[in-house]
Amino acid sequence: MSINLPFGAVEFAANPEPRCPCVLVLDTSASMAGTRLQELQRGLAQFRDELVGDPLARKRVELAVVTFGGKVRLAGDFTAVEHFEPPRLQADGLTPMGAAVRTALDLVRARKQVYRENGIAYYRPWVFLLTDGEPNDDWHEACVAVREVEHSRQAALFAVGVGEANFDVLRQVSVRQPLQLRGLMFREMFQWLSNSLKSVSRSGTTEEVPLLNPATPEGWAKV
Amino acid sequence: MTVASVEARPAPTPERSADRRRHRAWRVLIGQAPGARKCGGPSDDAADYRLFRAGRAPFVVVACADGASSARNGGAGARIAVAAAIDSVCAAARRAPRTPPVAAAVIGSVVRALGAEADRQRVPFRSLATTLSCALASPRWTWVLQVGDGATAIRPAGGAAWAIAAWPERGEYANSTHFLTDDEVRWQSSVGPSASALAAITDGLVPLALDLAGRRAFAPFFDGIASELAAHEPAELAPHLALLLRSPRVTDRTDDDVTIVIAVRAAAHRRVPHAPA
């Protein structure tokens, strides 16, 4: 628009985009070795590509990765999707899921503090937990922490079980119905997650975000 | 395929209802565009204004509202809230031109109007969920009332700086706010000195019009529009504002409905013809 026309010279404020934080909490215990981990790794790469391909999600979604296999690792702290490099996953050791969930909740809390200090608006953070076994650490504390953040709407946790995952435990950790991955449909699962994050990241203040049901007959999950 | 309609309304007459006491002390311009996420659907925003006299003095009231798109009848709620707020504010000013309206009474009228509409249409009250940003200027003071995440800005008479009279009120998250249909309506209201310009915007324009980290109005935005409105008739400007609001400069930054209603005191305006494009 020419600046000779009315309003051609109107300037706009350059505010930072609102952020949509998501932590992936991934089981990398020894039982994940082999095809499971390979498929998960492929799914992660596709997840990144899908989000980078979306103009708003690219600017708004921030990803962090916590892995738990033997010990809990911060495999990638929060970063904008466009700078996100999927970490190389390696299967090893037992399943300290309780500690991993608590680490994720701490990450979310710290990230929100950074947003607040910088005047950045944000969406409700998501914690996306994926496991194929059962925790070998004290996970009850994590249950209490999850209930607390869910109750006060500080974060939303989604739990997905793969293979022989212990669903009795997952049902206690997650306030929402945990989902069982159909086969090794990691790519479909990440497709759903990226679509959901795209929807959230473009939702306005006056919208509720409807999520697609992943547990349809063709979906990636069973309940 | 439907093409998204863009609307920017000039003042067809100083007041829509025939009112012999109308005046031309203010110029008012409304600009609206539906967000890209509506995929060609209608905007759920509403905006209007009224120029009237109370105790012989010229008043202007402007209002805009953002209907919740998660609520089935949010767009209708927004239109009713704007109309009811303007009626209520106007009636209050005519009853007592020296005193600013009582915010709780205006909220009460608007909520009753929404309730009546819900009954009439036999829809749930909450399906009319909407925000509201409203400002009334008398020659002596400016009064502001807001529910939700729009914003209301005032340029005090004799000053050059725009001030945010009502800041967007949000929940913790970028996609949560308060509505007129909440059980307890959370409103903010204030009275300030007389204004030379005032504007109300819906949340779609908030990231473009406010400096969020600095918590202040982004002056080049409001000044850019107000200076044109001071120099030109609203009818001339309306199509240009419509163009601006649907230009990539706006749509690259937000895919939400955008609405602004802006008024400038016209007492000292000069006619400056536009150079041809």
Banded model confidence at residue A146, pLDDT cuts 50, 70, 90: very high
* Residue A207 and residue B68 in contact, taking contact as beta carbons nearer than 8 Å: yes
CB contact under 8 A, B211 and A10: no
CB contact under 8 A, A123 and B173: yes
Closest Cα of chain B to A90: distance in Å? 35
The answer on pLDDT for B1 being more than 50 is: no
| Chain A residues whose beta carbon lies within 8 Å of the beta carbon of residue B74 | 206
| Measured distance CA(A42)–CA(A36) in Å, rounded | 10
The residue of chain A with its CA nearest to that of B236 is A6
| Measured distance CA(B101)–CA(A82) in Å, rounded | 50
The answer on pLDDT for A11 being more than 50 is: yes
Model pLDDT for residues A80-116, shown as the tens digit of each residue: 998 999 999 999 999 999 999 999 999 999 999 999 8
Look at residue B276 and tell me if it is in a domain. Answer: no
Q: Which of A161-165, B59-63, B92-96 shows the lowest per-residue confidence on average (mean pLDDT)?
A: A161-165
CB contact under 8 A, B69 and A153: no
Would you call A3 an interface residue with chain B, using a CB distance cutoff of 8 Å?
Answer: no
Banded model confidence at residue A204, pLDDT cuts 50, 70, 90: low
Chain A residues 198-217 with CB within 8 Å of chain B:
200, 202-209
Closest Cα of chain A to B74: distance in Å? 9
Model pLDDT for residues A25-59, shown as the tens digit of each residue: 999 999 999 999 999 999 999 999 988 988 778 88
- Kindly state the percentage of chain B with pLDDT values over 70: 87
Banded model confidence at residue B272, pLDDT cuts 50, 70, 90: very low
| Chain A residues whose beta carbon lies within 8 Å of the beta carbon of residue B209 | 12-13
Look at residue B91 and tell me if it is in a domain. Answer: yes
Average pLDDT score, chain A = 88
Pairing of strands A156-161, B132-137: unpaired
Would you call B236 an interface residue with chain A, using a CB distance cutoff of 8 Å?
Answer: yes
Which residue has better confidence, A19 or B143? B143
Q: What's the confidence (pLDDT) of residue B14?
A: 46
Nearest to B157 by CA among B194, B212, B111: B194
Determine the residue among B147, B167, B175 to mutate to test chain A binding: the one whose Cβ has the most chain A Cβ atoms within 10 Å.
Answer: B175
Closest Cα of chain A to B131: distance in Å? 9
Dihedral sign computed on CA atoms, order A154, A160, A165, A171: positive
Banded model confidence at residue A120, pLDDT cuts 50, 70, 90: confident
CB contact under 8 A, B221 and A200: no
Q: What's the confidence (pLDDT) of residue B117?
A: 96
Closest Cα of chain B to A112: distance in Å? 10
The answer on pLDDT for B270 being more than 50 is: no
How many CA atoms lie within 13 Å of B192's alpha carbon, on the beta-carbon side?
23
The residue of chain B with its CA nearest to that of A15 is B207
Would you call A4 an interface residue with chain B, using a CB distance cutoff of 8 Å?
Answer: yes
Q: What's the confidence (pLDDT) of residue B2?
A: 36
CATH number of the structural domain spanning residue B93:
3.60.40.10
- Kindly state the percentage of chain B with pLDDT values over 90: 71
Nearest CB among A10, A205, A206 relative to B224 is that of: A10
Would you call B207 an interface residue with chain A, using a CB distance cutoff of 8 Å?
Answer: yes
Q: Exposed, middle or buried, A90 (CB in 10 Å: 0-12/13-18/19+)?
A: middle
Look at residue B275 and tell me if it is in a domain. Answer: no
The whole-number average pLDDT for the span B137-157 is 97
The whole-number average pLDDT for the span B188-214 is 95
Q: What's the confidence (pLDDT) of residue B58?
A: 95
Tally of domains within chain B: 1
Q: What's the confidence (pLDDT) of residue B88?
A: 98
φ and ψ at residue B255, rounded to 5 degrees: -115, 20
Banded model confidence at residue A135, pLDDT cuts 50, 70, 90: very high
Would you call B66 an interface residue with chain A, using a CB distance cutoff of 8 Å?
Answer: yes
Chain A residues 6-25 with CB within 8 Å of chain B:
6-13, 15-16, 18
Task: Provide the CA A198 distance to its chain's centre, in angstroms.
Answer: 12
The whole-number average pLDDT for the span A116-140 is 91
Chain B residues 25-44 with CB within 8 Å of chain A:
35, 37, 44
CB contact under 8 A, B213 and A203: no
CB contact under 8 A, A205 and B177: yes
Nearest CB among B213, B247, B255 relative to A119 is that of: B213
A163 three-state secondary structure? coil
Determine the residue among B173, B177, B255 to mutate to test chain A binding: the one whose Cβ has the most chain A Cβ atoms within 10 Å.
Answer: B173
Domain that holds residue B118: 3-268
In this structure, what is the dihedral angle of CA atoms A81, B254, B172, A193, given to the nearest 10 degrees? -40
CB contact under 8 A, A10 and B74: no
Banded model confidence at residue B177, pLDDT cuts 50, 70, 90: confident
Q: Exposed, middle or buried, A63 (CB in 10 Å: 0-12/13-18/19+)?
A: buried
Q: What angle do CA B76, B80, B82 make, to 5 degrees?
A: 120
Q: What's the confidence (pLDDT) of residue B170?
A: 82
Distances B113 to A79, A163, B82 between C-alpha atoms, Å? 47, 56, 10
* Residue B166 and residue B134 in contact, taking contact as beta carbons nearer than 8 Å: no
Look at residue B68 and tell me if it is in a domain. Answer: yes
| Chain B residues whose beta carbon lies within 8 Å of the beta carbon of residue A207 | 68-70, 175
Model pLDDT for residues B217-259, shown as the tens digit of each residue: 999 999 999 999 999 999 999 999 999 999 988 987 887 899 9
Look at residue B209 and tell me if it is in a domain. Answer: yes
Q: Exposed, middle or buried, B13 (CB in 10 Å: 0-12/13-18/19+)?
A: exposed
| Chain A residues whose beta carbon lies within 8 Å of the beta carbon of residue B179 | 206
